[in-house]
Amino acid sequence: MTDVLATPWPTVGLSDWLLGEPAHPIDDLVVDIDPTTRLLPTRTPIDLDQVSGERVAILHRWMRDTSAIVLVDAGTGPPAEALLEIADRNLIVTRPCYLALMKGVRSGLKPDGVVLVNEPSRSLNTSSVEQCLSAPIVATIDVHPSVARSVDAGLLTGGHAHITRTTAAITRPEPNRTAVDRWRDLDERRHSPDVDYGMRWRTASSGDEWRVSWNRGSGALYATNRDESVIEGLGTFTTESGVTTALPEWGTHHQDPNGLDWIRQQVEPATITPEFPGPALR
């Protein structure tokens, strides 16, 4: 099996192996993240009462002898005590969600650190998370809509070139926010959800692939390249049906070499030009 990052995924997880499934070599269970980091995934929650002590001892010896950093996925809920005893650090992955944090508190778990999956729409801040779990935040993963878009469009399964471009946008530091981020900040309405009309539009003037989206809040139809470093305003529509009418059977043009040029021709006579500072915001 292969996951969305085009990484081969083992058929047996850590939970299966600890509970006495056929004794696969541990190396067969591992997902190599990079040359120095390895992941031991689990497919199901680990039953705390049925963990094999012999298997834990084998796991401990294997982890001690490997030179790489090993991340053990202990599943959801409190990890098995046997796993905690052999771990150098115990980290909890959570969101700034009241219900998730309350579940963490009630579990009695005392983590060494927190990996925070940060959602911009949440009202709880990092201090609240640290105070609630009595542990420092050691890493933050920002939720970005481009990830969901890329997964839905199948752009994360084509190899590591796509992965690199996508994750670069996710991990980009605040001073280097994308052109789309800055465009949204110019008008609060633009923070509304988008309706996507394909992510692989091409044009004769560029070798890049473009996403075309209609913003529900502002009515703007725009195009942006893969890393969202350039945004082009195409027009303004008051309703989604207006876009559909202007772009009849757009799916048949999606893979055309000049598909984006076709959109420009279609929308130019039918729309109001949106307020963009120039043809592209860089």
* Cα–Cα dist 27/8, whole Å: 13
Q: Which sequence spans correspond to the domains of the chain? A: 1-87, 178-267
**Alpha carbon distance 51, 19 (integer Å):** 5
Per-residue pLDDT, 272: 45
Cβ–Cβ < 8 Å for 132, 103: no
Query: Residue 29 and residue 88: Cα distance in Å, rounded?
Result: 20
Q: Which residues of the chain have pLDDT under 70?
A: 1-13, 20-24, 43-52, 80, 120-121, 151, 153-176, 269-282
CA distance linking residue 236 with residue 214, whole number of Å? 8
- Residue 173 neighbours by CB under 8 Å, 6+ apart: none
**3-state helix, strand and coil shares in percent for the chain, rounded to the nearest 5:** 35, 20, 45
Q: Tokens representing 39?
A: 């992941």
Q: In this predicted structure, what is the pLDDT of residue 61?
A: 83
| Residue 221: per-residue pLDDT | 94
The number of beta carbons lying within 10 Å of the beta carbon of residue 259 is 21
Is residue 237 within 8 A of residue 259, CB to CB? The reply is: no
Q: Is 182 exposed, middle or buried (0-12, 13-18, 19+ CB in 10 A)?
A: middle
Give the model's pLDDT for residue 26.
76
b/e map of 234-250 (b: 16 or more CB within 10 Å)? bbbbeeeebbeebbeeb
